[in-house]
Structure 1
Amino acid sequence: MTVLDTNFLIYLLRNKVAAVVADFFDDPKTTTITLFELYYGAGRSSKQQENILKINSLAKSVDILEFDEPAARKAGEIQAGLMNSGIPIDIQDVLIAGIVMANKEELVTRDIDHFSRIQGLRCRSW
């Protein structure tokens, strides 16, 4: 199963191909944290309403994985390990990784170097 990261979804939204996501991937998913990042970006853009409508449409075409208790536990373990190793990453990415790992999924991202710091996270570049 595939969880789509923020940078992948931004590319789709900008290039007007969000509608094909469901056809391209088997059972595509994203996370509540990724949606937060997308809506935050839309709120800061000069085309707020247009971007929010695109995100709303996209959200209907993918399954949304929640930041629940198992994801919180996993994210806490990840963050502690990264901080103890002196290699922290953005907290949103830790939360996304926690969701992906708690659900035993694979992350599709452009930030392979970034996410590769998280031991046990399955991810692939696009």
Structure 2
Amino acid sequence: MILVDTNVISEVMKVSPSESVVNWLNAQESSALYLSTITIGEIEYGLRILPVGKRGLRLKERFQRFVSLAFAQRILAYDETAARTYGELMGHRKEIGRPMSIADGQIAAIAIANGLMVATRNTKDFKDCGLELINPFLPQT
């Protein structure tokens, strides 16, 4: 099972998304894909700071529809287990001289707490977290 990172969701929201990402998503069993509440927050923030206008409204509606259809019943919250995992993970990353952003740490913690892989373009950001990583932006063989 796979937790889909924010950059993958952002990519598929584009008018012309990466062919590799679209192909990768289409090749996955939809029931194996999960989304975190952290990613929802990051996307909602990005939509909120767009200039006021029809484009932003269309993107927001499209995102809400996409989430409700593609990830119904597969949205994972940042719960107590993830929070405890986050503390351990962030401490470890600081000790090894590879601190990570709060959002990436929370996403990684949710994945670890739920035994999931992470699909992301930013594999280096999640390195040394003990996660199996997938980069859907690379052509799949």
If the TM-score is normalised by the length of the shorter chain, which range does it land in?
0.7 to 0.9
Match of 1:25 in 2: 28
In the TM superposition, what are the counterparts of 1:90-101 in structure 2 within 5 Å?
Answer: 90-101=101-112
| Secondary structure in structure 1 of the residue aligned to 2:131 | coil
Write the letter of the residue equivalent to 1:44. Answer: I
Cα deviation for residue 16 of structure 1 reads: 6.9
The normalised TM-score by structure 2 is 0.79
Whether 2:72 is the aligned partner of 1:53: answer no
Q: For residue 69 of structure 1, what is the aligned residue in structure 2?
A: 80
What secondary structure does 2:13 align onto?
Answer: helix
* Unpaired segments ≥5 residues, structure 1: none
How far is the alpha carbon of 1:121 from its aligned partner? 1.2
State the structure with more CA Rg. Answer: 2
Sequence identity, in percent?
Answer: 27
Give deviations 1:3-57, integer Å, cap 9, x for gaps. Answer: 111111111011377xx99854221211000000000011111332122112101
Q: Which residue of 2 aligns with 1:110?
A: 121
Name the CA shift for 1:56/1:24 in 2 (closer, same or farther; >3 Å). farther
CA distance in 2, matches of 1:13, 1:21: 15
Check conservation: 1:109, 1:123, Cα contact below 8 A: yes
Q: Which has the higher contact order (CA 8 A, sep 6+)?
A: 2
| Aligned-partner SS, 1:29 | strand
Partner Cα separation in structure 2 for residue 31 and residue 16 of structure 1: 24
Query: What is the number of equivalent residue pairs in this alignment?
Result: 123
**Cα contact 1:67–1:99 (8 A) shared by 2:** yes
TM, length-normalised to structure 1: 0.88
Greater mean alpha carbon deviation, residues 94-103 or residues 58-67: 58-67
Q: Secondary structure at the residue paired with 2:34?
A: strand
CA RMSD between the two structures: 2.0
Query: 5+ unaligned residues in a row in structure 2: which ranges?
Result: 18-22, 137-141
